[in-house]
Structure 1
Amino acid sequence: MRVVEVFRAAYGSDPAGVWHAPGRVNLIGEHTDYNDGLVLPFAVPWGVTAAVSPRPDGVVRLASVQAPGEEQVVEDLDQTRGWARYPAGVVWALRRAGHPVGGADIVIDGDVPRGAGLSSSAALEVATALAFDDLYGLALPRMELAKIAQRAENDFVGMPCGIMDQAASALSEEGRALFLDCRSLGSRAVPLDLAAHGLRLLIINTGVHHELADGQYARRRQDCENAAKRLGVPALRDVTDLAGALARLSGDERKRTQHVVTENHRVEAVIGLLRAGAVREIGALLNASHLSLRDQFEVSCPELDVAVEAAVRGGARGARMTGGGFGGSAIALVPEERLPAVRDEVLRAYEARGWAAPAFLEATPAPGARRLR
């Protein structure tokens, strides 16, 4: 195992264990998690592997297979930089929560496609959290580990994400999507056997990332909080009279509210269709989700829009951007026999605009975080 070999070379011994956490793709339920809403992600076959051994001195040593020669040795976690802030943030969050964790030697290896919006950061956090949970005998529930990982990203790294990515990485099951209520944190596994219905979920990785994304993400969250306050509800999840709410709002707050409320309804509708075995029919809801994210939440970009439109033109049952937006990936629900046609149509559309070709991945629901050895 590559991560073990690098650990041995870096630290002169074998790791105490190796843990893996997957990235995720979100089938539907975008920008609803931090509005106490509903989401339906699943784990993907790619993720982050962490080889870890405990240290009694509190020092954290960090290395990455993908960043040779950039090892960091830290006594003060605030001094970490770059990718290392994510695992360091987990150690910080565990200590802030009162858990008796010491230091560690850590080597990270990841195969989540870069820039795809498949949540490699959450995978890195959850792999670290699970390793520390095992090594220091914490026996924390999986959702508590997800919350620790979220706190690391919110309060240490400074990204105001919701709980979805970390929960999907920690709790997902093979062959199933994760239906998560982001208020109660109740969840249940939903069977998602696309192949049995002659379907594939194609990830179209645009390979682009527009740099305005981080600040715009925080702004969208603030828009939602402002709208909820104006409406006198704890969160946009609580809006039950959408027409009445929209009549009281204007501008960005009105648009954000319309997206969040209707997106929650779309999640519930997809669950109903999956239960009924009408898997092919969820495509229309994916299309509606993309239009709402493009026009009401305003987090799409030309590369995502073109990918979605071309995929549908090529025969996909439905398609939408997935993840935070401003780049990353789109997903398309494609009949198996239409896969070549969908790929060709997207490639032609990109070539016609002089854009670099996107990458294509087929995603099946993978297991959540686990110890490998």
Structure 2
Amino acid sequence: MTDTELPAEEAVETATLPLDAWHRAKGARMVEFAGYWMPIQYEGIMAEHLWTREHAGLFDVSHMGQISLEGEGAVAALEALVPGDIAGLKPGRMRYSLLLAEDGGILDDLMITNEGDRLGIVVNGAVKWDDIAYLRENLPDAVTLNHNEDYGLLALQGPKAATALARLVPEAMGLVFMQTARATWQGHAIALSRSGYTGEDGFEIALPNEALAPFADALCAMEEVKPVGLGARDSLRLEAGLPLYGHDLDPATDPIEGDLAFAISKRRREEANFPGAARILGHLADGAPRKRVGLTVDGKLPVREGAKLFDGNVEVGIVTSGGFAPSVGAPIAMGYVPTGLAEPGTALAAEVRGKRVPVVVAATPFVPHNYVRKQGA
């Protein structure tokens, strides 16, 4: 037995998504990710990426954790763990926020929705069990946490997503970015939000597991829609300048270092009563020692996660995400550098296979966001 193997009684079996058979029937190449077998591609990452930018791509994100909080004091209890203004979140609205450790480090980034009678939370699949345990440990007994495992989650992303989805769920057209609604489809209760993680207009749709395959079939029967895998989801979010937890964000990073100051609501800054407030507000006022930045790459050689960054001969940072960007037509990356080197236009170098590759600090997103923020936009 090697030191990387687990004893048989401790081995963790890779789980399957409710749509596992559907993906395989569509010709998906499956890989292990976040404890699940997931489709990385169907016809090719570049083709699927560009299809999503131009039409509508259907993603299965059912590996993510769907949680609800109910009970007296749920809002205040959640605000004790995140820096967002949850009390000010109106019914039918959602907000990006961060689950913070006691020292202000980021345990996860997540989406929080005011569903009227409860709070809905979507957390990252790779850390959902840790998140659930942390929430249960830190929430008062009066607050009930439900992990909604009987629901899957689909994301329909791209400029033609609204047109396609509205044929099945007319309520989609009434939403703008970060709004949510409840609806029914063929007798199934569903929840949808105008949101996503590609930088494009789009929706996330929560459905009962038994409804996922027929709903996905109905969407993919439309000429605008094709299934898209994990590979293109990653390149799309990288072009959009969106961090991936466990790569660009982790418990050693606070929101200011992670360039996520917008997630700290004004009221919460004034009250300074969220985890790690002294550290975070100090960095907000005086600057953090390092910052997450975008990087453009000179040439065609991709600069990937783990590559060291240099200012001259001095090692100054590290790449946390990187790859070829189909919409840009060149490699791009994200990483951490000292705040003094974080200004766009700063020339650095990345070490790739023992060679130095010129990179330049760049503003993000690398491609414009296309969110629909008001009706008719």
Class of the TM-score when normalised by the shorter of the 2 chains: under 0.3
TM-score normalised over the length of structure 1? 0.28
Higher strand proportion: 2
Ranked by relative contact order (alpha carbons within 8 Å, sequence separation 6 or more), the top structure is 1
TM-score normalised over the length of structure 2? 0.28
Higher helix proportion: 1
